[in-house]
Structure 1
Amino acid sequence: MTFPDDVDTSTILSGNSDPFGPDTAATLSRHPLESIETEFPHVVRSIDSPDGVERPAEQHPVFYGCYDWHSAVHSHWSLVRQLRLFDDHPARSEIVASLDARFTADNIAREVDFIDANPSFEKPYGWAWLLHLASELSLWDDDRAAEWRSILEPLERTIVSLVESEFLSEQRPFRVGTHRNSAFALHCILDYARTVGNESLEAAVSEAAVEFFADDRDAPVAYEPLGWDFLSPSLTEADLMRRVYDRDEFAVWIDGFLPDVTASPSDSILEPVRVESDPDEGVAYHLLGLNVSKAWCLAGIASTLGDHRYADPFERSAKRHVESGLSQAFTEHYAGTHWLSSFVLYLLTRNDGGIAPASTPLD
């Protein structure tokens, strides 16, 4: 991906789509458009009988592509967000035609039926992205978006109910760098609740975040990344708590939560992860996404910290992660193409609404 010559790293970290034109929009849409139509390869779950399993498109007539359900969901989020933010999007008609074919009442009803029969399916990562998709549709002042939101509403309602009954009721968080990460799901759900004005859900998520993470101390950042992480457990947790606390409370919390990262060696969490240009294992592409997700966490935390001693180091680290992450994110290997563009769009447009909106800290 080539950015305009006059768009530097600092501009990218502003999290605003205004500097980017049609070429960037075309690049960001190419892989999601291709992948949401790509039924195979697809992740294989357990097979319960010799009769095999239904094809992905039969089980999930909306979200069947992109190798797995959650990637299909956030690829749809990515395309909808691009339609909202890029008025002159060169692939607008193609995106609209593709989504129109999927967003039908019958298709969504079948998605709901599957979730009803499999209530732990894609918990919590896929649920978090589905709510991001719903909130994105709510932000877009467009008749088509309103129609799509209305069609999606039964699935949105189902996921909100499961979040309240099956996720927020959990007794402990998962502090991992992959799909089960509790903090990432909580921050997505919190952003959704604030965007659509669901005050009771916002309060419940904020309370869960405090219960899970308020007393965390001395995060073991030296162990990151562990395996094939695409999220930093410690930075993702901090990215959540900056949404929950006001600035002063957050500064006190992060002083206790993180060791002195400014005094860490060269393998500090503030340094991007080094990844081969063409990894041998498909799952290694998670590490490419890790640098991108760390960039948005670091930038968001730095902007929250004000004059705290970590603000400048975090901002400089965010720039290094942008340079490293964006230099490799646009691979042509399907292990990366089916999801990485969504992470890049999240980074580039994190201040364009729907992501970390104005917080309502707990009293």
Structure 2
Amino acid sequence: MYDATQKLKHKILADSDRCVMCGLCLPHCPTFKVKRNEADSPRGRILLAKALAEQQLEADENVRAHVESCLHCLHCEHVCPAKVPFGRLIDNTKHYLAEQQQITPLPLWLKPLLASRKLRLLFASVIKLYQLSGIQAWLRKRTFFKRSTIATWDAMLAKREYISAALPHSNINSKQTVALFSGCVATISDQNTLRATRQLLTAAGFKVQLNNKQHCCGAIYRHSGDLEYARHLMLKNSKTFKADIPVISCASGCGAMLQQYDNELSARHYDIHTFIIKHADHLSFRELPETVALHTPCSMQNILKQQAMPKKLLSLIPKLQIVSLKPETGCCGAAGIQILQQQSQGDVLADDTIDAMKESHANILLTSNVGCAMHLRRRIWSRKLDYEVMHPTLLLYRQLQTTKHQ
């Protein structure tokens, strides 16, 4: 244990020593823009991490708050001239604090829910019953419900949409098999996106494998300081997916984590937008003379680095006007578990995104990350606005017309 802790501290110090303290990251940090506090900037957090590793600073409540409020957006890494691996540094710092029992990686009730596929499917069934039975619609009309904490959770749920279980016809004779990575949160809260993604892949000529033994990607655990369990999930997922099959993710947060696996699975992982656009010659879409707003998650921009792909894919829908949102803060504030732990900070950042949405005059907000979608839905509801939030693949599925004949 002592050796492991010493190695961890050495890693923190090695990464923090790369920072030249230039401050170029500060204007790009969402939490610094909101709080205007040096300790809530990348440079400030690097200094805190270094002081903690050198045991020159006690991890009191104030210090922990500065470290834990980091959104892992990695805008700082994108502009850093010294190439400081800030994501790795902050993950290791949280892990160090967790080992010292200074922070709890995840709420006790959340870890078993995300870790157990049976529990996730049970929870998803309860939500399905809640929505289809009319209970949700009835409660949403009641004043007592609108004032309750449960209402804020309810607002995060995607509107349930009928998506046929029957697979679309494809004129392509040779069907390659691909595996769909469903993730943990989307399994519970956004089955629409998973079904729509499967339909698009099938229409494009692929046989979609739904692996019931897959696990959470590990991102939530990693960014909460539980690096060991995150690695455990990585190894289990690597064994679960067959080595010769491409793995497709539709949530950019999961995709970013899969992309960072230090094994062969990362090499055969594809984001759904990038994968479909390569095989879109077999697809056609109905016209949609509307304006939609496109939100780019930080994970899509700064880790996957495929921020142009969703717009390129959506451009296949004739007459669709796409407005790319560019909020001043650069992040919606969801950031995985932060959606629960840093709600006031997240609200300020979400408002920036929603204000940009209002200027676009669109009624549909598209985002490729399930956490961002849940966070923005809740904030839209709290502001009494009427915008529909969905994944780009769901809109593409709605407009899917037929496969083209070769």
Same fold (TM over 0.5): no
TM-score by length of 2: 0.28
Q: Report the structure, 1 or 2, having the larger helix content.
A: 1
TM-score by length of 1: 0.30
Q: Which has the higher contact order (CA 8 A, sep 6+)?
A: 1
